[in-house]
Structure 1
Amino acid sequence: MPTLSLQSFPLPLIGLAAFSGTGKTTLLEKLIPLLCTKGLNIGIVKASHHSVDPDTPGKDSYRLRRAGSSQLLLSTPERSICYTEKSGHTDPELMNELQLLDCSRLDLIIVEGFRDAAFPKIELHRQGLDRPLLYPEDPNIIAIAWDIPLTDNPGLPQLNLNSPEQIAEFIYRYCFKEIAQ
């Protein structure tokens, strides 16, 4: 069986790359409904550098995880939550995280974070944060969304960070170019 890679992933995959505080999650909150109106089922992979545990201490799922299960699927009428325990504290690999998704239920995956992984990304840039641009060092940046137009020409499509409609349309056309034409 061939090894799955980011380049051969079976679904369109696009990321938002930016430094912390740029507004990736805020933009995603606006992009998701816009893309859903196009009939797309959207999956999100969000990287976090913080340890989170959305489970409730004392509840059955929490107790079973603490007892040593490697994976626990909590299934309710409204949703399913899959907990996968990891050994060690190494940064997760995007490909491993993507394989946890049920791709048969999705049309598009948007990744927030995993800035160093090699897959297509839109760079978000806010001039006021005084952070360097990522595109000169990352050949996987396919467009730049800014709050103030760039003074130099990066040779990439430039999008208005304050226009989620424009960014959603770019994502749709980029990911579904055969369908959109």
Structure 2
Amino acid sequence: MRLYGVTGWKNSGKTGLVERLVSEISARGFVVSTVKHAHHSFDVDHPGRDSHRHREAGAREVLLASRTRVALMTELRGDPEPTLDELLARLAPVDLVLVEGYKRDRHPKIEAHRAETGQPLIAPEDATIRAVASDSAGTLGVDRPVFDLDDTRAIADFVLDEVGL
């Protein structure tokens, strides 16, 4: 499975870039999945719903299915967070998996960067970052390709070339 990451600091434009890349790459006929890392607790379920009641009763996994969507919720119940490789093994085969976050993992990435965050670039210290997408593209002075953060087509071309699609 081909894998490419989008990383960056909080509010750097990662989610918007992933969203645009999924749309652009899917429109080109490729099947794309995503993995998003959250640094906080989250819930996709709602109190009072049957699936939530199953989880609250102690179910380790709850598989919720309809004719339009399937969701598998797994309660870790004290077990360690799964690694990115373990999560990828759960996905059905696709042409490309875009990974948001997982800054410390060793897959190839593009860094999303917005000057207004005041955060430094991660790229100079991380060889897994193969390019930068920024709102201040002309002023960064990095030793790898730099794209305008909103140039989705060029970024998609780069990612697809990088993964051999």
| Common topology (TM > 0.5) | yes
Relative distance call for 1:160 and 1:89 in structure 2 (3 A) is farther
| Counterpart mapping for 1:95-174 below 5 A | 95-103=85-93, 106-151=94-139, 153-174=141-162
- 3-state SS in 2 of match to 1:49: coil
* Secondary structure in 1 matching 2:12: coil
Task: Name the CA distance, whole Å, in 2 between partners of 1:58 and 1:125.
Answer: 40
Q: Matched residue of 1:136: which SS?
A: helix
Structure 2 CA distance for aligned equivalents of residues 114 and 167 of structure 1:
19
- SS of 1:97's partner is helix
Q: CA deviation at 1:34?
A: 0.7
**Equivalent residue in structure 2 for 1:69, among 59, 79, 84:** 59
The TM-score, its normalising length taken from structure 2, stands at 0.91
- Return 5+ residue gaps in structure 2 as ranges: none
TM-score, normalised relative to structure 1: 0.83
Query: Does the residue aligned with 1:33 lie in a helix, a strand or coil?
Result: helix
Partners of 1:89 and 1:161 in 2: how far apart?
Answer: 38
Whole-angstrom distance in 2 between the partners of 1:44 and 1:152: 28
What secondary structure sits across from 2:59 in the alignment? coil
For these two proteins, the number of residue pairs brought into alignment is 165
Does residue 1:55 correspond to 2:38, yes or no? no
Distance 1:27 1:72, change over 3 A: same
Distance in 2 between residues matched to 1:20 and 1:152, nearest whole Å: 19
* C-alpha RMSD of the superposition: 1.7
Could you tell me how far apart the structure 1 residues matched to 2:43 and 2:140 are?
Answer: 43
2:91 maps to a residue whose letter is L
Unaligned runs of 5+ in 1: 1-10
2:16 is matched with which residue? Answer: 26
Percent identical pairs in the alignment equals 36
